[in-house]
Amino acid sequence: MSENAIVIDDVTKIYSTGALEVQALRGVSFTIERGDYVAIMGPSGSGKSTLMNLIGCLDRPTTGRYTLDGIDVGTLDDNALAAIRLKKLGFVFQGFNLLSRTNAIKNVALPLFYAGISQREREKTALAMLGEVGLGDRGTHKPNELSGGQQQRVAIARALVNDPAVLLADEPTGNLDSTTSVEIMALFRHLNESGRTIIMVTHDPETARYAKRTIRVRDGLVVSDERSDTVPSALEVT
Amino acid sequence: MLTQIGPFFSEAFAVLLGNKTRSLLTVLGLIIGVAAVISIQILGKGMSGAVTGVLGTLNDRSFFVFPNSRQADVFKAAIKYTDIAKTTSLFPNIVAALPAGGVQRLMTAGHHHARLSLTSESDIAFATVPLIYGRNLSADDIGRSAHVCVLANNGYKRLFPDGGDPVGTSVRVSERRFIVIGVQGAPTAGIVPTNFGGDVLIPYTTFVAEFLRTRPLFAAKFLVRDPSEIGATEVAVIKYLKSIKNGRSEYQTFDRRSFSSSIDGIFTALTLVVSLIGAVSLVVAGIGIMNIMLVSVTERTREIGVRKAIGATSGQVLAQFFIEALLLSGVGCGIGLVLGLAIGAAVDRFALVAISGVVPEIPWVQSVVIAVGFATIVTLVFGTYPAYRAARLDPIEALRYE
Ligand SMILES: Nc1ncnc2c1ncn2[C@@H]1O[C@H](COP(=O)(O)OP(=O)(O)OP(=O)(O)O)[C@@H](O)[C@H]1O
Ligand SMILES: [Mg+2]
């Protein structure tokens, strides 16, 4: 297996809605190593979400190659893509997207359910995962009984519960106030320091500062790709 | 891939329980439809059981003829015994012609008196009631107009209230003595007496000679040789009687077979109507379930997107919604089954048993088959499309759904 978690090679994405064609990605190439922490930035409509959807195996590129954890994803059918999402990827959304009817443990356990793991095992693992994001005592709370930051932590626990190769987050702090955002970023930092590969889309330069590397896109092209030296440590957070 | 189905059921249960009122209202149509069809099935079965119970003791070799009650002059339609006696030689299928009904007489046995009905009977009994003592009338008794009698259970109880075997003792009617040769058992329970025959049965030849004389009779009872020809014989007898009255009187017949088949006919028609109502309510209920499932799929579009993003396959999403539909219709049909059985059994118990004394068998298997069949059909026909809609959703669009 390669050292690279993700290899994107000259990927394009064209949306055709009727007569109109939108070139959302015009040929993007980059490589993300295992253990890296990447922020993707760019103006609205530049193609960040499109890129995340491709990396997340929710969509397929129009042309180009995408290799995830050594697997050429382009050759896979829908069920195989679902299996990749289940085992190799974890999603964190801007709007948390928890199931409102069910409590935190069940939400976190959901991927394990689809992985066919027994209920006892599921709840045990889910509870441990909640502990890891600092919500060990909130397992039986429903999403509406949790703060926004806590909900996002539950979502992060859910994304991590299957021990994925890559954690994907599209504007994870977009719905949070600045204090809570900092908490979530501290959690991300901590997760990255313990070896998780993270890719995060953000508008906010402050948030992007927590990442080790920033890829900027504009009009469907990568315009810059730089490593930052001044990464704030998790302890620096106030 | 569907690694396990079980967890999907508990998931689906949680969803439906989270929406109790809605779920219940959705399946109400199904409950009513299934309950109606099942209770009418039970009732149909119970009814034919009851008919058998009431008519069970009647043999299929006899029929009654009586004047149609809806005619201008019923009295004119009365027949002479000599006319019906002739039928035995006119129609080869008729073995014997008896005056039907009886006469009320004061009777005495020992110190006990009672006013009872004296009835004519043949050696082929109209009803096969089991005897508790002695024997039935024989051809010889008929042939020689013997002064013997068989006591129906009521007659026995009134004349011999102390019980015991009365065979060989005599019953006095007016100045005549009849030797008791047999005693019938009690008729099967129920409010319709299965003993059509009267209280004291004597050879019809004796009855005609000594009690009927030239009095006209309203009804006659015929015994036939071949029960399969009974319908044709009845028609011929009616025609013959009408010809005697120059076509001015109307008659009708009654026999076991035509009676039970007319009741069966009524019930077949009723069952058909209720089945149709059931089928209609099935469709209405199915559409209701499909509608609520489609609403549910729309409401939960984001949830479906999340599930797919997390790694659920289309098949797993399909299974989830399909099982929700299955549970809805399963619960509906289950409640309908219980309700239908309860209604059917209650009607059986409180109405039919009282009438016939027969406890009808509940068609368990048939009822369960109906309920399971309904649930399967509703799920397959109306649950598949919403589940398919859910499975087909594009995760990206579903996640964007507000
Ligand atoms: N399903 C789609 N059909 C057609 N065009 C689309 C679709 N999804 C995205 N686009 C277009 O592709 C382009 C890139 O969209 P994308 O959502 O990737 O932008 P973004 O960088 O995430 O923007 P934002 O910061 O506002 O979220 C936009 O012009 C958008 O209109
Ligand atoms: Mg976006």
Question: Tell me, what's the pLDDT at B64?
Answer: 86
Tokens representing residue A189 in the block: 């930092």
DSSP state of B161: T
Residue B384 is predicted with a pLDDT of: 94
pLDDT at B260 over 80: no
Whether A229 has a pLDDT exceeding 80, the answer reads no
Average pLDDT in the B85-113 region?
Answer: 87
For residue B2, name the pLDDT band (cuts at 50, 70, 90). Answer: very low
Please indicate, yes or no, whether residues B146 and B186 belong to a single structural domain of this protein. yes
- If asked whether residues B114 and B183 sit together in one domain, one would say yes
| Alpha-carbon distance values, B281 to B37, B44, B99 (Å) | 10, 20, 53
> Of B189, B220, B255, which closes a domain?
B255
**Picking from A1-5, A77-81, A197-201, which range would have the lowest pLDDT averaged per residue?**
A1-5
CB neighbour list of residue B140: distance below 8 Å, 6 or more residues apart: B146
- Among residues B255, B274, B305, the one where a domain terminates is B255
Residue A22 CB less than 6 A away from ligand 1:
yes
Which has the closest alpha carbon to B25: B359, B292, B219, B232? B292
Cα(B267)–Cα(A216) distance, rounded to whole angstroms? Answer: 80
Q: C-alpha distances in angstroms, B275 versus B29, B38, B280?
A: 14, 9, 9
Residues B75 and B51 in one domain: no
Higher pLDDT, B259 or B390: B390
B131 shares a domain with B11: no
What residue owns the CA closest to ligand 1's atom 19? A45
Q: How far is the CA of A212 from the CAs of A19, A33, A56, A199, A233, in angstroms?
A: 41, 12, 20, 10, 11
Chain position carrying tokens 């690694």: B3
| pLDDT at res. B104 | 87
pLDDT tens readout for residues B296-312: 999 999 999 999 999 99
pLDDT of res. A109: 95
Testing ligand 1's pocket by substitution, the residue of A13, A17, A49 carrying the most ligand atoms inside 8 A of its CB is A49
* Strand extents, DSSP E, B189-241: 200-203, 220-224
Taking 60 as the threshold, does the pLDDT of residue A1 lie above it?
A: no
Q: How far apart are CA A203 and CA A40, in angstroms?
A: 9
Please check the confidence at residue B192 and state whether its pLDDT lies above 50. Answer: no
Per residue in A112-151, pLDDT (tens digit) is 999 989 889 999 999 999 999 999 999 999 999 999 999 9
Structural domain of A188 = 4-237
Domain match, B99 and B225 both: yes
- Whether residue B267 sits in one domain with residue B220: no
Chain B residue whose CA is closest to A80: B313
Same domain, B185 and B247: yes
Give the DSSP letter of residue B209. Answer: I
> Do B269 and B246 share a structural domain?
no
| CATH code of the domain containing A212 | 3.40.50.300
Instruction: Kindly state whether residues B160 and B291 are assigned to the same domain.
Output: no
**What pLDDT, on the 0 to 100 scale, is given for residue A27?**
94
Q: How many CB atoms lie within 10 A of CB B362?
A: 17
The response to whether residue A49 sits with its C-beta less than 6 Å from ligand 1 reads yes
Nearest CA to B342 out of B39, B43, B50, B45 is that of B39
Nearest CA in chain B to A86: B311
pLDDT for res A11: 96
**How high is the ipTM of this complex?**
0.92
Pick the residue with more confidence: B348 or A216? A216
Q: pLDDT band at B54, cuts 50/70/90?
A: low
What is the total residue count of chain B? 402
Place A231 in a pLDDT band, splitting at 50, 70 and 90: low
Residues B228 and B373 in one domain: no
Tell me the whole-structure pTM to 2 decimals.
0.74
- Classify residue B255 by burial, with Cβ atoms within 10 Å: 0-12, 13-18, 19+: buried
B3 close contact with A: CB closer than 8 A: yes
| Residue A152 confidence (pLDDT) above 60 | yes
pLDDT confidence bin for B53, thresholds 50/70/90: low
Chain B's closest residue to A83, CA to CA, is B311
Average pLDDT over chain A, rounded to whole? 91
pLDDT higher than threshold 60 for residue B346 = yes
Give the residue numbers spanning the domain of B51.
2-55+260-399
CB contact under 8 A, A59 and B315: no
Q: What are phi and psi of B67, to 5 degrees?
A: -65, 140
Chain B residues whose CB is inside 8 A of the A108 CB are none
Q: Is the CB of A16 under 6 A from ligand 1?
A: no
What atom of ligand 1 comes closest to residue A217's alpha carbon? 21
Do residues B339 and B35 touch, judged by C-beta distance below 8 A? Answer: yes
Evaluate if residue B116 carries a pLDDT over 70. yes
Residue A233 confidence (pLDDT) above 60: no
Domain count, chain A: 1
B14 residue type, one letter: A
Least trusted range by pLDDT, from A17-31, B198-212, B347-361:
B347-361
Task: Identify residues of A whose CB sits under 8 angstroms from chain B CBs.
Answer: 53, 56, 58-59, 78-79, 82-87, 89, 91, 93, 97, 99, 101-102, 110-111, 113-116, 119, 158, 162
Give the residue with greater pLDDT, A185 vs B17: A185
Name the one residue in this structure whose structure tokens are 């519960």. A161
How far does CA B227 lie from the centroid of its chain?
Answer: 23
Tell me which of A101, A121, A154 to substitute to probe the interface with B (most B C-beta atoms closer than 10 Å): A101
Instruction: Look at residues B198, B221, B255 and tell me which one is the last residue of a structural domain.
Output: B255
| Stretch among A215-224, B195-204, B214-223 having the lowest mean pLDDT | B195-204
Phi, psi dihedrals of residue A231, rounded to the nearest 5° = -75, 125
What is the per-residue pLDDT across A176-195, written as a single tens digit (0 to 9) for each? 999 999 999 999 999 999 99
Check pLDDT > 60 for residue B191.
Answer: no
Q: What is the pLDDT of residue B350?
A: 79
The CA distance from B37 to B143, in Å, is 55
Beta bridge partners of A200: A39, A169
Q: Check residue A237 and give its pLDDT.
A: 45
Q: How far apart are CA B126 and CA B196, in angstroms?
A: 8
pLDDT the model gives residue B197 = 62
- Whether B157 and B273 map to the same domain: the answer is no
Would you state the pLDDT for residue A169?
96
Q: Which of A58, A152, A201 is the best residue to mutate to test the B interface, defined by the most B CB atoms within 10 Å of its own CB?
A: A58
As a whole number, the mean pLDDT across chain B is 85
Q: What is the chain B residue with the closest CA to A49?
A: B396
Q: Which residues of B are less than 8 Å from A113 in CB distance?
A: 7, 11
Chain B residues inside the 8 Å CB shell of A58: 308-309, 395-396
pLDDT of amino acid A235: 47
Q: Looking at the structure, tell me whether residues B203 and B166 fall in a common domain.
A: yes
Q: Is it the case that residue B273 has pLDDT exceeding 90?
A: no
Whether A125 and A150 have beta carbons less than 8 Å apart is answered as: no
Q: Report how many domains make up chain B.
A: 2
